Amino acid sequence: MNQYIGLDVSMKETAISIRQDGKRIWRGKCASDPQLLAAVIRKRAPDAQRVVFETGPLSVWFYHALTAEGLPAICIDARHAKAALDMAANKTDANDADGLAHLAEVGFYREVRVKGFDSMLIRTLITARNQLLKMSLQMSNQIRGLMKTFGLVVPKGAGSVFERNVRDLLQGEEKLAHIIMPMLQAWRDIRHQTAKLSKELVAMAREDQRCRLLMSVPGVGTVTATAFAAAVEDPANFRNSRAVGAWVGLTPRRYQSGEVDRDGHISRRGDNQLRGLLYEAAAVILNRSRDTSNLRAWALELKERLGFKRTAVALARKLAVIMHAMLRTGELFDPHAGAPAVA
């Protein structure tokens, strides 16, 4: 007899529910450890057909660990599951596990593609580097603000110029220097660690043929190329290149009911980080690039009609389509090719 398992995962404990022939046959709790969970499932449900859990902080680890244990693990979209789980009268971990087990039994769920560990390592590297960049900027702004209180206005400049300006202004200000210098040293350490992660990211991109291919697109640098390659993984994961734009959340929402039919803002679903990087690449093409590609010519013409923001979103979506097509075909960016349709 086939059994269907729902797991409501939390940091410490995981609620388990097992269904068979349309009814629950067992439920309980276990520590949130995939090996312990696998042992419980093998004991209570030897004929498990589906082991369903929602997307969350532990979903990548759980999926790969349970799959390695030989269990049919399935990670489903938490937004999709929420609509079904809200039908329960009371919100508890046990009831959520029951609801997930029910979804597993009837097959009413949307499975999520779980990235491999190599792709997650790249994503983690990019996220860590971005966080250090934000910390460096916040630290420098804090130093400027504190010194401004005492009439010491730090001139414009970044990097070594900023450090030199701060040190020059602190000459003769011993009491204030005792406060600012530790912050300046922390700022230097953050910049040093950021540079190390940046070098590691560049080295990773140089060794990856996909990243070198994507960096032939105007406005696409190391960070955007590696983030896109890690997110897409295999171009065959998408039925066509246009689907990537919707997957990243760069297509308009639509609401249709009766006589009402309207389009809204972009959905902003999917990978926030990748969507932001694609938008930045689009902004570079519009504002800083000097290439004569057909893509930029199309974008500049659209900018005259729609303005910068809407054009940048449309160009970001088009970049996602182009980059996926390049990964699928293995061809470099052709600046003279016609710009593909967005719709």
On whether the CB atoms of residues 316 and 276 are closer than 8 A, the answer is no
Alpha-carbon distance values, 19 to 117, 213, 227, 286 (Å): 31, 48, 40, 55
Q: How confident is the model at residue 83 (pLDDT cuts 50, 70, 90)?
A: confident
User: Stretch 138-146: mean pLDDT, rounded?
Assistant: 95
Residue among 317, 299, 297 nearest 308 (CA): 299
Q: Average per-residue pLDDT in the chain? A: 91
Non-local (6+) Cβ contacts of 158 within 8 A are: 140
Among 65-69, 213-217, 338-342, the minimum mean pLDDT is found in 338-342
Q: How confident is the model at residue 114 (pLDDT cuts 50, 70, 90)?
A: very high
Nearest-angstrom CA–CA distance, 245 and 241: 8
Nearest-angstrom CA–CA distance, 140 and 158: 9
The pLDDT value recorded for residue 40 is: 95
Q: What is the pTM of this model?
A: 0.84
| pLDDT at residue 35 is higher than 50 | yes
The pair of three-digit structure tokens given for residue 69, joined into one six-digit string: 């244990």
| pLDDT at residue 65 is higher than 60 | yes
On whether the CB atoms of residues 59 and 75 are closer than 8 A, the answer is yes
Q: What is the pLDDT of residues 1-12, one digit of tens each?
A: 799 999 999 999
Please, what sign has the CA dihedral across residues 337, 338, 339, 343? negative
The pLDDT value recorded for residue 343 is: 41
Nearest-angstrom CA–CA distance, 61 and 53: 12
* Percent with pLDDT over 70 in the chain: 98
Nearest-angstrom CA–CA distance, 33 and 65: 9
DSSP 187-243: HHHHHHHHHHHHHHHHHHHHH-HHHHHHTTSTT--HHHHHHHHHHH-SGGGSSSTHH
| pLDDT at residue 320 is higher than 50 | yes
Amino acid at 23: K
Indicate the helix (H) or strand (E) that contains 27.
strand 23-31
Nearest-angstrom CA–CA distance, 286 and 296: 7
The pair of three-digit structure tokens given for residue 14, joined into one six-digit string: 């995981």
The pLDDT value recorded for residue 342 is: 47
Nearest-angstrom CA–CA distance, 302 and 312: 10
Nearest-angstrom CA–CA distance, 166 and 283: 32
Q: Angle, to 10 degrees, between the axis of helix 294-306 and the axis of helix 272-287?
A: 90
The pLDDT value recorded for residue 338 is: 64
| pLDDT at residue 340 is higher than 60 | no
Q: What is the pLDDT of residues 260-312, one digit of tens each?
A: 878 778 888 888 999 999 999 999 999 988 888 899 999 999 999 999 999 99
DSSP 32-70: S-HHHHHHHHHHH-TTEEEEEEE-STTHHHHHHHHHHTT
| pLDDT at residue 322 is higher than 60 | yes
Q: How confident is the model at residue 87 (pLDDT cuts 50, 70, 90)?
A: confident
| pLDDT at residue 341 is higher than 60 | no
User: Stretch 219-223: mean pLDDT, rounded?
Assistant: 94
Non-local (6+) Cβ contacts of 58 within 8 A are: 9, 11, 32
User: Stretch 100-115: mean pLDDT, rounded?
Assistant: 91
User: Stretch 73-80: mean pLDDT, rounded?
Assistant: 91
The pair of three-digit structure tokens given for residue 259, joined into one six-digit string: 């006589």
